């Protein structure tokens, strides 16, 4: 009897997993249809915990405004903190402001600076991350936590393995990111040979909004704008 109950429960799990495929497909279809219409955009990542009075919030807002003035829209995770700053900068500069929301403990609501027709909700992290990569012409990575690191390293890995085309990955904040870059260079590259010397060339480290724009313009003076898949 115990084995029968166990088998029945296992079958129910498998059935639920199978039906989840349709929900996942629905999120992909909705995301593709919406985001294919937005034009060239740059994604801004960073901590949801950063307060409006913090220097990184203000810097992210200025960066987003400068990016919009250069002809791009802005995509963020749609929540508070750095995401809000990115959407706010885009909104105040009159540009495209996209939010890709997901329900997380520290992101209970979407921020008020997202364009009403470009506010998307996702249940699945992996679907959301595909949207970030596919429809972004660059990543601007502000100081953040595990989620920010996850998005950063996924983008680097996809470019490194040639699964997507190369695009600018810009870390903002030498003081914050410098130790990580040093560790990657010394430990991963030089000591253990776990990455190639040229892999770090995928990353630019800057401190100002003007440097962000300089990296974007320099890259796209060489490469054409195009989807990443």
DSSP 51-65: -TTSHHHHHHHHHHH
Q: Based on the structure, what is the number of domains in the chain?
A: 1
Please give the mean pLDDT across all residues of the chain. Answer: 91
Q: Whole domain around residue 173: which residue ranges?
A: 2-220
Strands (E), 27-183: 41-45, 73-76, 97-102, 119-122, 139-141, 169-172
Q: Is residue 153 part of a domain?
A: yes
Segment 189-202 mean pLDDT: 94
Q: What CATH number is given to the structural domain containing 175?
A: 3.40.50.450
Q: Is residue 9 part of a domain?
A: yes
User: In 3D, which of 167, 129, 178 has the Cα closest to residue 150?
Assistant: 129
Q: Can you give the pLDDT at residue 143?
A: 98
Q: Is residue 106 part of a domain?
A: yes
Label residue 67 left, alpha or beta by phi (over 0 means left) and psi (-120 to 50 means alpha).
alpha
User: In 3D, which of 55, 122, 68 has the Cα closest to residue 97?
Assistant: 68
Q: Is residue 228 part of a domain?
A: no
Q: Can you give the pLDDT at residue 109?
A: 79
**For the segment 100-149, what is each residue's pLDDT rounded down to a tens digit?**
999 776 656 789 999 999 999 999 999 999 999 999 999 999 999 999 99
Q: Is residue 64 part of a domain?
A: yes
Segment 11-40 mean pLDDT: 87
Question: pLDDT over 70 for what percent of the chain?
Answer: 90
Q: Is residue 141 part of a domain?
A: yes
pTM for the full model? 0.90
- The token pair at 63 is 């960066």
Q: Is residue 80 part of a domain?
A: yes
- The tally of CA atoms less than 13 A away on the side-chain side of residue 199 is 20
The continuous run of DSSP H or E covering 206 comes out as strand 203-206
Q: Can you give the pLDDT at residue 229?
A: 44
């Amino acid at each position: 009897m115990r084995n029968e109950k166990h088998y029945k429960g296992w079958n129910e799990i498998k059935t639920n997993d199978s039906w989840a495929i349709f929900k996942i497909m629905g999120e992909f279809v909705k995301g593709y249809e919406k985001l294919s219409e937005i034009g060239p955009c740059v994604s801004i990542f960073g901590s949801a915990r950063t307060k409006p009075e913090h220097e990184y919030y203000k810097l992210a807002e200025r960066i987003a405004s400068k990016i919009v003035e250069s002809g791009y829209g802005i995509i963020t995770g749609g929540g508070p903190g750095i995401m809000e700053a990115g959407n706010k900068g885009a909104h105040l500069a009159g540009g495209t402001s996209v939010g890709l929301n997901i329900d997380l403990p520290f992101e209970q609501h979407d921020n008020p600076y997202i364009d009403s027709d470009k506010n998307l909700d996702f249940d699945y992290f992996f679907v959301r991350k595909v949207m970030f990569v596919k429809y972004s012409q660059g990543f601007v990575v502000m100081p953040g936590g595990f989620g920010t690191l996850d998005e950063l390293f996924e983008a680097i890995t996809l470019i490194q393995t040639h699964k997507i085309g190369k695009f600018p990955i810009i870390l903002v904040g030498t003081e914050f990111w410098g130790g990580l870059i040093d560790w990657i260079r010394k430990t991963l590259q030089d000591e253990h040979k776990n990455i190639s010397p040229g892999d770090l060339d995928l990353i630019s480290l800057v401190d100002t909004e003007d440097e962000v724009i300089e990296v974007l313009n320099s890259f796209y003076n060489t490469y054409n704008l195009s989807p990443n898949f």
